Amino acid sequence: MFSDLDRSVRGRLRTLSKDNADGVGRHLVMVGRLLDVQPELAYEHAQAAVRRAGRVDVVREAAGLAAYRTGRYSEALRELRTVRRLNGSSEHLAIMADCERGLGRPERALALAQEPEAETLDAEAKIELAMVVSGARLDLGQAEAAVAALSTPAVRAGTGLASIRVAQARAVALEAAGRSAEAVAELAPYTQDQLDEAAGDVEVEDEVVSFDLSEFDADGEYDEEAPDDAEPDDAGSGDDVLDDVAPADGGAGDGADGSTPDVVDDVTPDAARDQAETGADEAEGGR
């Protein structure tokens, strides 16, 4: 339901017509609910939302996050650069840096982490960025630097799952540096269940259907005539997709040529420049 969206997200959609805002909002709800359990289907919902509201920052944000979760790193970079330009926020700097790593460009990941905007991130985002930096250092064969990136008081001050994830990343870096005993000690305080949860290896309860997929007509518009008590489709199968959700080409990763479907009709000069930069990036060092 549209009401399931965060109030700030609903506010961003107020620039759309009521019917379109409702339809886009439902797609965004599905992105949020599917991202951890069926990321490819979440990506399709995000693309459907972009086709209908490509000028709204939260829509492009959803598209970027879904692209990242499905391994479409160049597309995720393009979308998150657009979000950054639209709202001035650098909150996804860590994901952008990790996309650079995914494209085989750890030096660019480090460059992003050194931008002045990195200092404006909240504590949690700084920890995420530090883990990306550590991974980039490992990519470059700099194991001791990878350990150092996760050894600052600010990074070690994380709590909950964040602290466990830091410990796991430190253990990997310590092992790479030949400090196996320290790597074992790093993980000793945690149970296997805790480690699995932090690594995302715990099975997620499948509660992803928030509305009947048949509520969208053949043109992708929300059908207010649809019955409220319709039986929901099987959420686990992923076979039934909204009529306005086009199948994603290229599987879970970037296509062989790095291209993605042309779904947005609001390409500005800045967006065109981003796309050109992405194309050049891919030619230089894409996966």
pLDDT tens by residue, 13-24: 999 999 999 999
Amino acid letter for position 95: I
From the options 3.30.70, 1.10.8, 1.25.40, 2.60.120, give the CATH code of 90-201. Answer: 1.25.40
Angle, CA 79 vertex, CA 75 and CA 82 arms, to 5°: 145
**pLDDT mean over 145-158:** 96
Amino acid letter for position 186: E
Q: Flag whether pLDDT at 133 surpasses 90.
A: yes
pTM to 2 decimal places: 0.72
Output 10 or 204, whichever has higher pLDDT. 10
Q: Flag whether pLDDT at 242 surpasses 80.
A: no
Q: Flag whether pLDDT at 261 surpasses 50.
A: no
Q: Which of 115-119, 169-173, 188-192, 253-257 has the lowest mean pLDDT?
A: 253-257
At residue 267, the 3 state secondary structure works out as coil
Residues 56/15, Cβ–Cβ less than 8 Å: yes
The pLDDT value given to residue 246: 52
Q: Flag whether pLDDT at 80 surpasses 50.
A: yes
Angle, CA 261 vertex, CA 30 and CA 31 arms, to 5°: 10
3-state helix, strand, coil split of the chain in percent (to 5) is 60, 0, 40
Q: Which of 70-84, 92-106, 273-287 has the lowest mean pLDDT?
A: 273-287
Q: Flag whether pLDDT at 62 surpasses 90.
A: yes
The pLDDT value given to residue 1: 61
For the chain, the domains span: 1-89+211-259, 90-201
Q: Quote the distance between the C-alpha of residue 61 and its chain's center.
A: 8
HEC profile for 169-226?
HHHHHHHHCCCHHHHHHHHCCCCHHHHHHHCCCCCCCCCCCCCCHHHECCCCCECCCC
The pLDDT value given to residue 169: 97
pLDDT-above-70 percentage for the chain: 69
The pLDDT value given to residue 265: 37
Q: Flag whether pLDDT at 115 surpasses 50.
A: yes
The pLDDT value given to residue 200: 80
pLDDT band at 8 (very low <50, low <70, confident <90, very high): confident
Amino acid letter for position 239: D
Q: Which of 102-106, 151-155, 235-239 has the lowest mean pLDDT?
A: 235-239
**pLDDT mean over 166-189:** 97
CB atoms within 10 A of CB 113: 20
Q: Quote the distance between the C-alpha of residue 105 and its chain's center.
A: 18
The pLDDT value given to residue 223: 45
The pLDDT value given to residue 207: 43
Output 223 or 241, whichever has higher pLDDT. 223
At residue 179, the 3 state secondary structure works out as coil
Q: Flag whether pLDDT at 3 surpasses 80.
A: no
Q: Flag whether pLDDT at 61 surpasses 70.
A: yes
Number of H helices, E strands in the chain: 14, 0
How far apart CA 278 and CA 113 sit, in angstroms, is 19
How far apart CA 5 and CA 58 sit, in angstroms, is 11
**pLDDT mean over 25-38:** 95
